[in-house]
A and B are shown apart, each in its own frame.
Chain A
Amino acid sequence: MGVPKYERPTLVRHVSGMMNKFSRVQAMRPLTHIDGVAVPNLVARFGSPLFVFSERTLVARYRELSDAFSLRFPRVRIAWSYKTNYLDGICRALHREGAWAEVVSAMEYEKARRNGIAGERILFNGPYKPDSALERAFSDGARVHLDHFDEVMAAEGVARRLGVRPKVAIRLNMAVTGAPPWSRFGFNLENGQAIEAVRRIRAGDALDVAALHCHLGTFIQDVSAYREQAAKLAEFANVLAREFGTFVEYVDIGGGFASRNTLHAQYLPGEQVTPSFAQYAEAVADGMAALKAPSGREPALVLETGRALVDEAGSLVTTVHANKRLPDGRRSLVVDAGANLLFTSFWYKHDIVPAQEFSGTPEPTVVYGPLCMNIDVIRDNLLFPPMATGDLLVIRNVGAYNVTQWMQFITERPGVVMVSRTGDVAPLRRRETVETLLAQEEVPPWLS
């Protein structure tokens, strides 16, 4: 203990007039514990790399979102976007708070049902819903969000065959400033396709349009896009009320709220520029003010927030495997978690911090993953203190999309654990082994 830790010498070129080592303030702080649980203990118990989810953060974010919108709308329902992270433990933590489910495939639908969600509380999105999926959804009373005219046809066929009259939503796409047009999903509002779809569904007399849905896009940092979207949805709902006497049950504004990550192309850090839930809520409320509904027929507001809810709850703990000096003078680290686990490293400048106290002068550093592939870069440039092999790093805000988009590539996938609100730790998904892999494989008889 008394012996000071060895600190490697660092050569830093002094550039006169520029920022230099003598004026820099050390801003990085180690993250030694996650919700009170020591990171090395987690690794000792569950191995490295390891995804760690904080239930406390997850629930806090959910409540922050719910509170922010509930202050402005009497009925707010949050439908958990399964594709963002459909580990049962994550879904159940949110369902316990009252979240509905938003699914985009038959598989996700099945998961939601098994998590105890009633059909009526599942919103079924996506451009691909085979007849079998529609059958399952309609017989449960699930809310199918229709995406295209062929799907209207298919849905009508299924409904007639089952002898039910399902309530459906139609998905709209629209032009708003601040978000790129996602015209491939749903019916276009501006060119009249959307109202045409409503007329078509009414003429078909097999389905009831009971809700509107629009998902603008992803990682939208400009809240005014939501103001415009909400206003257009409100106006469309007014048209439905005026022309057809249809009062929709809910207006689903989709998801797309930015998390506190920083995009590659972004100059300021996400923590500073990402709008708060309250700011999004205010914009949506401004837009929705245009909606006219008689007392008692006001639609609920549905949110399909995924990323902004779960991103901050997830961390990836990884171990430094090697230090390396690159020819251009930069230092590099080889860690045991790579792009196979962090799909989001292609989008974000991930926030990486050491999991133990450190010293020494930060240097420009590249963080490489373990894969024997050139693309396996976690961060291509960050100022990072010197690390020793075996040191632990925590990559923060990785809760969204990674444990659904990760690849079983080159190596097995690691374990996922959750730290409960009382500090208990339990696995959400066991570390894969070779057996996991082989369980699905077959060897043709002529090769065995």
Chain B
Amino acid sequence: MALVTRSGVASLADAALSSYSEILFTRSRAVGVLLLAATLVAPRSGLLGLAAVLLSMAVVRLAGFSSFLAERGMYGYNPLLAGLAVGAFVEPLPAALLVLPVVVVAVVFLQTALESGLGCTFNLPVLSLPFVLVTWLLLAVLPFLRDAVPATAAAAEHAVWLPAAVDDYLRALGAIFFAPEALAGALVAAALLIYSRIAFLLSLLGFAIAWVLLDTTLAFESTMPPLAVSYNAILVAIALGGVWFVPQRSSFAFAAVAVLLTTLVTVACVLFLHPLRLPVLILPFNLAMFLVLYAMRQRVRDSAPKSVDFLAGSPEVNLNYFRTRIARFGSLGLPRLALPFTGRWTVTQGVDGEHTHQGLWRHALDFEVVDAAGRACTGDGRVPRDFHCWRLPVCAPADGTVIRVVNHVPDNPIGERNPADPYGNLVLVQHGYALYSLCCHLSSGSVDAAEGQFVRRGARLGLCGNSGRSFVPHLHFQIQSAPRLGAPTREVEFYDVVRGGEDAAALHRYLLPAKGDVVRNLEGREEVADAFDLRIGSVRRYRVTGPGGRAHDEDVTVRIDLYNNLYLESDGDDRLYFENQNRQFLAYDYQGRRGRALFLLYAAAPRVPFEVPGAVSWDDVLSLRHFRPRWTGWLSDLADPFVESHGLPVTCRSQAADRGLVVAGEARLGRAGVRTQALFERARGPSSIRLQTCGETWAAELTEVRDA
């Protein structure tokens, strides 16, 4: 295994560039380079900014702060901005060089302190508050420094050859980096475009609102406040419209409202700070963000705009991740609930059912066992014993804590009910905050779960019975948000459900079963699981051939990260996160280049249930991102937030093969079709993958397996 060694200089450069790109919420090197260039448009402050970044890295190392954060530029962007401020505000140069180290140390310390304070207390990001506070500190101290002269932040001349709006926009972008000039702005805009087309669009939105306001309603005496209004608006629009929230129509509207709010804050700041002769900098952005983020977290339903509750990337990545997640894993945000039984049961009353699933309690399901002849009982069904579901085990739908048990209610004779204890014998399990599952009408004395006990998914809770408001033996299941009996029910979905009889069984990634549906949980067959036994550290070499006979070898290694996530990594940077524990192989989104072995694996087998080969069919959704040509990619990035797209749906079937199983997939991509076929072999794993589209074929053949 080749060890990746990188020179200290390279990693230093990376960390430094990250400090620049982090201001636009990314760690892209190209963005960093462009932003660095933008700051150097004002050479003095640009160089002082760079010096501040390098200095801050030294401070972080010497003081023993987290090098993990430092490498990602998290300690760098505040010092950078502060360094730029020193360059802009302090004359002459020796004085500026003198104060720079002090400023940097102050920023790093303030950032660390605030991160802990704000982060732990309010769970808010620090943003650029340290830079703002330290810059004020500096400006407050400056008059008392003997040699230093406060510079009047010079607003550059208008570039006459540009339309006023464009010039104002570019100058606003440049002003974020203390270089309020069209050239600097253009570089920032380029960086923004490379980073994210959506963010670019949002910056235009923010600027447009600010510009209209400035034009129509606001009046300032100097030139700086209008610039501050613009760049704060731009930053807020990007941050809320695409970074902290998933970029969609709602987030754009939300960003627009937030920009109005920010403008108010900016004007207020000018009012308060002007007498103190302090610039507003990006304080309004910080204040507006704190306010809005904290307020939005108090919502009951986190949707429209949907906050980014996952590891954030660029707005494009956030949007794609979010949409794929909804398409693949449902939108209810429940834990992965399993059906609360084993074997094949039938829904006899669904949500909004005709008997009791109404009003506050509409989201409930009744289950019984129906035989091949369509009957729920043998004989004439005059005693509970005659019913197939009588005293069958009822299981926990997910991990949780049993918080309530009733076990004493007698079972009713057939056709009678017990109005005194409508739920009968029951087990109420808490699965998370405001998330409880209730299984009831259990058989008298059959409950073997105890209050306070922690149960795993699938653990036996009791036996199906006929207690409470139950005429015939059945299982009643519901999810509720409060722990008391009679609490309103809430929406429910089960994960990885096989629906339908044996000959037409289909796996549903998530499903709310309807009346009459025959459903069961995934089986988890060992003989299929054997083909997905990917040992950590094992290396597989693939011969990958593309159209036109181009071929290369790739080594794919199974790895595990700090958070226990498994992934496959190919020589380069291609990665495919996966899981193979929950009775299926599940590939998460692919990160990397097209035409690589892992890309083929992702396309051919986004999911393989460990079912008897041929027993079930299933479908899944691939991220469209990987299948678009690059140039249309940029255009569609701009349209994506406003167009509902659900990715590329694929349909798969499996079939037994000599030493494992073959998974065949089919998808429609525009007018063309994508056909895939993957062979998975016992003890070898994915061993032959083929993808065909538009008459072109890619293939990966396993040539060698090495175990760790």
Q: Contacts A120-B530, A121-B527, A278-B388: A98 and B393 contacting too (C-beta < 8 A)?
A: no
Q: How far is the CB of B397 from chain A (nearest CB, A)?
A: 13
Per-position 1/0 for B464-506, Cβ under 8 A of A: 0000000000000000000000000000000000000010000
Q: Contacts A63-B502, A120-B526, A120-B527: A295 and B459 contacting too (C-beta < 8 A)?
A: yes
Give every chain B residue within 8 A of A70 (Cβ-Cβ): 342-344, 520
Contact B342 A73 (CB under 8 A): yes
A282, B388: Cα distance in complex, Å = 10
Per-position 1/0 for A272-297, Cβ under 8 A of B: 00001010001001000000000110
Q: Does B456 contact A (CB under 8 A)?
A: yes
A389, B527: Cα distance in complex, Å = 52
In the complex, the chain B residue whose C-beta lies closest to that of A285 is: B393
A278, B388: Cα distance in complex, Å = 8
Q: Does A162 contact B (CB under 8 A)?
A: no
Interface positions, chain B 508-547, Cβ under 8 Å from A, are 520, 523-527, 530
Contact B372 A64 (CB under 8 A): yes
Q: How far is the CB of A270 from chain B (nearest CB, A)?
A: 17
Contact A118 B682 (CB under 8 A): yes
Per-position 1/0 for A36-77, Cβ under 8 A of B: 000000000000000000000001100110010011111100
A304, B463: Cα distance in complex, Å = 27
In the complex, the chain B residue whose C-beta lies closest to that of A121 is: B527
In the complex, the chain B residue whose C-beta lies closest to that of A60 is: B372
Q: Does A190 contact B (CB under 8 A)?
A: no
Give every chain A residue within 8 A of B705 (Cβ-Cβ): none
A276, B373: Cα distance in complex, Å = 14
Q: Does B612 contact A (CB under 8 A)?
A: yes
Per-position 1/0 for A112-131, Cβ under 8 A of B: 00001010110000000000
A335, B231: Cα distance in complex, Å = 101
In the complex, the chain A residue whose C-beta lies closest to that of B344 is: A67
Contact of A98 among B392, B612, B658, B659 (CB under 8 A): B612
Q: Does B201 contact A (CB under 8 A)?
A: no
Per-position 1/0 for A79-104, Cβ under 8 A of B: 00000000000000000111000000
Contact A116 B658 (CB under 8 A): yes
When A and B form their complex, what is the total count of cross-chain residue pairs whose Cβ atoms lie within 8 Å? 56
A52, B701: Cα distance in complex, Å = 44
Residue of A72, A276, A282, A285 with most partner-chain B CB within 10 A: A72
A64, B501: Cα distance in complex, Å = 12
Interface positions, chain B 644-670, Cβ under 8 Å from A, are 656, 658-659
Contact B530 A72 (CB under 8 A): no
Q: How far is the CB of A152 from chain B (nearest CB, A)?
A: 26
A284, B322: Cα distance in complex, Å = 47
Q: How far is the CB of A277 from chain B (nearest CB, A)?
A: 11
Contact A118 B393 (CB under 8 A): no
Contact of B530 among A64, A118, A282, A296 (CB under 8 A): A118
Residue of B343, B392, B682 with most partner-chain A CB within 10 A: B343
Contact of A74 among B372, B389, B458, B682 (CB under 8 A): B458
Q: Does B143 contact A (CB under 8 A)?
A: no
Q: How far is the CB of B504 from chain A (nearest CB, A)?
A: 13
A75, B658: Cα distance in complex, Å = 24
In the complex, the chain B residue whose C-beta lies closest to that of A298 is: B458
Give every chain B residue within 8 A of A60 (Cβ-Cβ): 372
Q: How far is the CB of B473 from chain A (nearest CB, A)?
A: 13
Give every chain A residue within 8 A of B659 (Cβ-Cβ): 118
Contact B615 A98 (CB under 8 A): yes
Q: Contacts A63-B502, A96-B656, A295-B456: A72 and B393 contacting too (C-beta < 8 A)?
A: yes
8 A–B contact pairs at CB < 8 A? A67-B344, A70-B520, A71-B342, A71-B343, A121-B526, A276-B378, A278-B388, A285-B393
Chain B residues with CB under 8 Å of chain A are: 341-345, 369, 372, 378, 388-389, 391-393, 395, 456, 458-459, 502, 520, 523-527, 530, 612, 614-615, 656, 658-659, 682
Pairs of residues from A and B, 8 with the lowest C-beta to C-beta distance, nearest first: A71-B343, A98-B612, A70-B343, A295-B456, A74-B342, A71-B392, A121-B527, A67-B344
